[in-house]
Amino acid sequence: MTIPDDHRAFFDRSPDLLCVLDFDGRVLDINPAWTRWLRLTAEDLVGTMLSEHIALADRDAAEGAVRDLGAGTSIEARSFLCRFQARAADGKATHRWLAFNAEALSDERLILAVARDVTEQEHTRTSFLSLFDAASDLIAVTSRSGKVLYLNPAGLELAGRAGQDPTSLATPDLLGKDERKRLVGEVIPKLNSEGIWRGETDLIHTSGESIPTATTLVWVRGDDGSPEAFGSVAIDLRPKRRALTHLRELKELLDNTPDLVSLSDLDGRFLYINPAGMTLVGHAGQDPTAFTIADLLNSEEMQRAREVIYPILIERGLWAGERRVRRNDGSHIPTSEVISLLRDARGEPNAIAVIARDLSASKRLEASLKEAIAALGAPILKVARGVLALPLVGRLDRVRAARIMDDLLRAVAETRATTAVLDLTGVKEVDGATIEHIFQVIAAAKLLGAEALVSGVSPAVATAIVELDLDARGLHTFSTLEEALRFALRGG
């Protein structure tokens, strides 16, 4: 076919790719744009079948369009997208994406086709599709009539339709009746006025379960700017709601824990302190986020935190020990603490968690026990005329040894005892200091003329005496109190 002269200038100057085909799909004429854009000449195309230059995977669509137009079964223009063989700048064969629009001239039995190079747009589209396909949230495009045009694998799986062809689905397959009414009555008006809608929607699973999602919808607009379809992104809210439930349960547990539990950022600002903790530090009922770590520690403890505790946290992630916490009234509370350094998903430190137990009661009890032991000293038993027995129990420190020595000397003087038996069976901690204290008591007894016998001597005591190189000459030792008393009552 020859283009009429009055149309030839337009045909040749058109920036789009124009061509004339017969009803069999054979190329009869092309315009110069084919050479400008694809480096193809009339010699390359004229006289050949158009489908010969189309990638095999896209050939059916092109041949179907030509066949329908030639048979007269399609009275409207037919469009198809295909990869068309072209030449690169270096002369090598390549493919470009072309969008064809073709129309039949029945009287002339010809087909007029116009094509536009959409390679860059197609690359962008496929890149986005790859991104959408890999996304973990639902991404969908739905026509205004409700037909699903695209639904990514994550969306299909969320709806219980993994592996199905998304284009076989429609809005009623994914949304319930109430949600569809809401779409018409609330969502579309919002889209028309603001261009975007955000809210929660319930997605229908094939099992019948309603899946809560956080959804964002926008219009997908055509070339003329008119809305053609809905684009939507939906995030499954079930994991978040389960996590919130677990957090509420954890917070309830922490709120009712009798020990202080706190969470602070790396700058020392508190994010959370449980009620027991706020009561402990004298700030019951106040907002814990108004406080910092410096409000609860004196300068000495802050320095210790910077120089000792924090370096250990960075290295090991955990520190355990005792500290003194400052109360609102300025007093200090002894606490036993476990401090943990928390890290984010990248492994970077982001918070500090503390569990602290008030040691005030146990410290008072410990002090009372020490006072009781010191007051007790050791019971001095008058076994027989001139014989005293001192059963020692517990730990023997300098203060207690001095008290025992005073009591023993007083008893020896008052009873004119000639023998004193020191029973070590109940002494649990045996070290150099303990042995030295025992020898001091023995020496003091000898000064008043009383012979000191030692019973309950264990291997550990014997070893300690040897290691200290103490003079044990003349010292009578026995394995049991009974043996020592028998010796004393016999008079040696």
N residues, the chain: 492
Q: What are the CB-based long-range contacts (under 8 Å, 24+) for 71-75?
A: 72/104, 72/106, 74/104
Q: What is the mean pLDDT of residues 30-51?
A: 91
Do the two domains 5-118 and 257-361 of this chain adopt the same fold? yes
- Checking if the pLDDT of 369 tops 70, the result is yes
CA distance 113 to 277: 80
| CA–CA distance, 70 with 211 (Å, rounded to integer) | 50
Is domain 135-236 classified as CATH 3.30.450.20? yes
Model confidence, pTM: 0.55
**CA neighbours closer than 13 Å in the CB half-sphere of residue 238:** 9
CATH class belonging to 374-489: alpha beta
Helices (H), 197-274: 238-255
428 vs 312, more confident? 312
Tell me the domain boundaries of the chain.
Answer: 5-118, 135-236, 257-361, 374-489
Enumerate the β-bridge partners of residue 202.
Answer: 212
- The CATH homologous superfamily to which domain 257-361 belongs is PAS domain (3.30.450.20)
The CA-atom distances, in angstroms, between 203 and each of 215, 236, 359 are 10, 9, 54
Is the confidence at residue 370, as pLDDT, over 80? no
pLDDT band at residue 73 using 50, 70 and 90 as cut-offs? low
Topology annotation, domain 5-118: Beta-Lactamase (3.30.450)
pLDDT band at 224 (very low <50, low <70, confident <90, very high): confident
Question: Distance between CA atoms of 18 and 25, rounded to whole angstroms?
Answer: 14
Average pLDDT for residues 431-438, to the nearest whole number? 76
Strand order in the sheet with 381-384: 381-384, 387-393, 419-426, 451-455, 476-478
C-alpha 455/C-alpha 381 separation (Å) is 15
Identify the pLDDT of residue 162.
95
Of the candidates 400, 392, 395, the one whose C-alpha atom is nearest the C-alpha of residue 420 is 392
Digit-coded pLDDT (tens) for 456-482: 877 777 787 788 777 777 678 888 888
